[in-house]
Amino acid sequence: MTSIADLADAIRLQAVTAGATEPTVRGADWQTATVTAVGAGTVDCGTITARRLESYQNPAVGDHIVITQSGNGNWLACGRTSSTTDTEWDDYNPIWTTDANPQPSVGNGTLTGRWKRDGRTIVGWINLVAGSTTTFGSSSDWNFSLPVQAASVGTRLCHAEALAGSRLAGQFVISPSQTASKCYFPSTTTPPLVSCRSDRPFAWASGNQLRIDFLYEAAS
């Protein structure tokens, strides 16, 4: 037979359990959660759907985030928690091509790239160092792939530098929607800028370097 004391304890426990999940009782709070699905301006964390703050860009399933709830039950996703390792800058392998065959080959040289993103802002660099077995392709324009596609509006003029005993400053031009871009340097024979290729801005050889910095808006 259930005593009055047992009944009171059961009612008290039920009230505590209900209050723990009811924001009007518990009040506003925050907690960590893992993203299970991404919506338009929202993320799902299990059964919770939270609206993202403007600062929480490029959400992905598996993100470990902070969510907060108002007293009326609405959830906000504040953003990711910090990882133990700073992975803001990432390596990528730029693809070096020309507009016509034969294609260039890095050989025993090096072609490296690093990049990072902040929302839809992309920043990074490419560095080509020619080796003794590097080949430079046909006498047609060089292209270097971008880490992500550029936005469909605006043209970005970024910095490039060719090194062959002396330094020659040029431009890395990122046009709308491009996934790869070209370099341009002052011609040694005519005033305008000319596209970079095997024989421009000079005849490329072992030990020469091409350095590129870029900053542009991503397509998404």
Domain boundary among 45, 80, 115: 80
Question: Where does the pLDDT of residue 2 fall: very low under 50, low under 70, confident under 90, or very high at 90 and above?
Answer: low
Residue 85 lies in a domain: no
Q: Is the pLDDT of residue 23 over 90?
A: no
Residue 170 lies in a domain: yes
Q: Is the pLDDT of residue 46 over 80?
A: yes
Q: Which CATH number do you get for residue 47? A: 2.40.50
Same domain, 144 and 39: no
Same domain, 34 and 130: no
Comparing CA positions, the residue from 50, 73, 149, 71 lying closest to residue 63 is 50
Q: Is the pLDDT of residue 24 over 60?
A: no
Q: What is the reported pLDDT for 142? A: 97
Q: Judge whether 18 and 25 are in contact, CB under 8 Å.
A: yes
Same domain, 191 and 122: yes
Domain boundary among 30, 62, 80: 80
Per-residue 3-state assignment (H helix, E strand, C coil) for the chain: CCCHHHHHHHHHHHHHHHHHHCHHHHCCEEEEEECCEECCCEEEECCEEEEECCCCCCCCCCCEEEEEECCCCCEEEEEECCCCCCCCCEEECCCEEECCCCCCECCCCEEEEEEEEECCEEEEEEEEECCCCCECCCCCCEEEECCCCECCCCCEEEEEEEECCCEEEEEEEECCCCCEEEEEEECCCCCCEEECECCECCCCCCCCEEEEEEEEEECC
Same domain, 169 and 128: yes
Question: Where does the pLDDT of residue 6 fall: very low under 50, low under 70, confident under 90, or very high at 90 and above?
Answer: low
> Which residues constitute the domain of residue 13?
4-80
pLDDT in tens, 210-219: 999 999 999 9
Same domain, 95 and 71: no
Above pLDDT 90, what percent of the chain? 65
Residue 150 lies in a domain: yes
User: Residue 8 phi/psi, 5° resolution?
Assistant: -65, -40
Q: What is the reported pLDDT for 70? A: 86
Residue 155 lies in a domain: yes
Question: Where does the pLDDT of residue 8 fall: very low under 50, low under 70, confident under 90, or very high at 90 and above?
Answer: low
Same domain, 76 and 95: no
Domain count, the chain: 2
Q: Judge whether 208 and 195 are in contact, CB under 8 Å.
A: no
Q: Is the pLDDT of residue 183 over 70?
A: yes
Same domain, 128 and 204: yes
Q: Per-residue pLDDT averaged across 42-64, rounded?
A: 90
Residue 169 lies in a domain: yes
Q: What is the reported pLDDT for 72? A: 81
Residue 205 lies in a domain: yes
Query: Which of 87-96, 97-106, 157-166 is the least confident region?
Result: 87-96
CA 127/CA 139 separation, integer angstroms: 21
Q: What is the reported pLDDT for 190? A: 62
Residue 184 lies in a domain: yes
Q: Is the pLDDT of residue 19 over 70?
A: no
Q: Is the pLDDT of residue 77 over 80?
A: yes
Q: What is the mean pLDDT of the chain?
A: 88
**Strand-strand pairing, 75-80 and 48-52:** parallel
Same domain, 109 and 188: yes
Same domain, 60 and 127: no
Q: Give the predicted TM-score (pTM) of the model.
A: 0.65
Q: Per-residue pLDDT averaged across 201-208, rounded?
A: 95
Domain boundary among 28, 49, 80: 80
Residue 106 lies in a domain: yes
